[in-house]
Amino acid sequence: MAGDNHARMNDPLRGLASEIRACMACALHRSARQAVPGEGSGESGVFFLGEAPGYNEDVQGRPFVGAAGQLLDELLAGIGLDRSKVFITNVVRHRPPENRDPLPDEVGACDVWLKRHLEILRPKVIVTLGRHAMYKFFPAESISRVHGKLRKTPEGLVIFPMFHPAAALRQPALRGALVADFATLALFLSAEPVAKAVEEEKTADQMTLFSE
Ligand code: URA
């Protein structure tokens, strides 16, 4: 069970987690021990999207609790972000057998849960971890080209693609890129309230102009 982090989730998140645990929309629920709906909060406005639960996540029912999760926790701590202040989930919510890549129909079946999580949380930024998560928003892109760059979708979602922490564990050369991308994320989060204030001031000025 998700324990403390689960208990902290607010009601719409908890309700959605129950729906996801009952999902049988693709065949993955047959081989997995349980669903991994996601955990955390919208407090920081950061939403992490990984690929799929692995062995440890399948056992515990929580996302990113294995080796890749440990690295994710370190990267979060490195920019002063507590795991409980971000939301963490995956493109597919059940573990694929033998940790194989999720199939297109499995990814498609889970789309509804991503949409519902985004509707509830309305994050400032969606950090995609790895290419499967990036493909959800930029299907024709290459992760090595776009990682570390903030992009907006036509729907207005702000996406920040990063390498997957598991890739950095396999290829230590990618770790530096992940650390640098987390630093950019921290910069975005610290600049975001200023950008918003400037935008609000501009709007207020325009309203004054219009009312004169
Ligand atoms: N890798 C992922 O993409 N998600 C997890 O939850 C764990 C490892």
* CA 50 / ligand 1 centre spacing (Å): 5
- For Cα atoms 86, 92, 94, give the angle at the middle one, nearest 5 degrees: 105
Cβ neighbours of 14 (radius 10 Å): 14
At residue 42, the 3 state secondary structure works out as coil
- Is the beta carbon of 166 within 6 A of some atom in ligand 1? yes
pLDDT of residue 9: 65
- Is the beta carbon of 50 within 6 A of some atom in ligand 1? yes
pLDDT of residue 208: 45
- Is the beta carbon of 90 within 6 A of some atom in ligand 1? yes
Residue with tokens 């004169």, as numbered in its chain: 212
Q: Exposure pattern of 53-77 as b/e (b: 16+ CB <10 Å)?
A: bbebbbebbbbbbbebbebbbebbe
Find out whether 42 and 98 touch, Cβ atoms under 8 Å.
Answer: no
Our mutation pick for probing the ligand 1 site, out of 57, 72, 113, 169, counting the most ligand atoms within 8 A of Cβ, is: 57
Which helix (H) or strand (E) is 103 found in, with range? none
Which helix (H) or strand (E) is 138 found in, with range? none
- Is the beta carbon of 165 within 6 A of some atom in ligand 1? no
pLDDT of residue 209: 42
* CA 155 / ligand 1 centre spacing (Å): 26
- Is the beta carbon of 53 within 6 A of some atom in ligand 1? yes
DSSP state, residue 85: G
Our mutation pick for probing the ligand 1 site, out of 36, 48, 51, counting the most ligand atoms within 8 A of Cβ, is: 51
pLDDT of residue 192: 75
DSSP state, residue 86: S
- For Cα atoms 27, 64, 126, give the angle at the middle one, nearest 5 degrees: 90
Domain ranges of the chain: 2-211
Q: At a CB cut-off of 8 Å and minimum separation 6, what does 39 contact?
A: 2, 5, 6, 9, 62, 63, 87, 88, 89
Q: Which amino acid is at 142?
A: S
The protein residue whose alpha carbon is closest to atom 8 in ligand 1 is 64
What is the pLDDT tens value at each position of the chain, 212 positions in all? 444 455 556 799 999 999 999 999 999 999 999 999 999 999 999 999 999 999 999 999 999 999 999 999 999 999 999 999 999 999 999 999 999 999 999 999 999 999 999 999 999 999 999 999 999 999 999 999 999 999 999 999 999 999 999 999 999 999 999 999 999 999 999 987 766 666 666 655 554 443 33
- Is the beta carbon of 52 within 6 A of some atom in ligand 1? yes
* CA 204 / ligand 1 centre spacing (Å): 43
- Is the beta carbon of 64 within 6 A of some atom in ligand 1? yes
Q: Which CATH superfamily is domain 2-211 in?
A: Uracil-DNA glycosylase-like domain (3.40.470.10)
- Say how far apart CA 169 and CA 172 lie, in whole Å: 6
- Say how far apart CA 111 and CA 115 lie, in whole Å: 6
Write the Ramachandran bin of 203: left for phi over 0, alpha for psi from -120 to 50, otherwise beta: alpha
- Say how far apart CA 184 and CA 149 lie, in whole Å: 9
Q: At a CB cut-off of 8 Å and minimum separation 6, what does 103 contact?
A: 96
* CA 157 / ligand 1 centre spacing (Å): 22
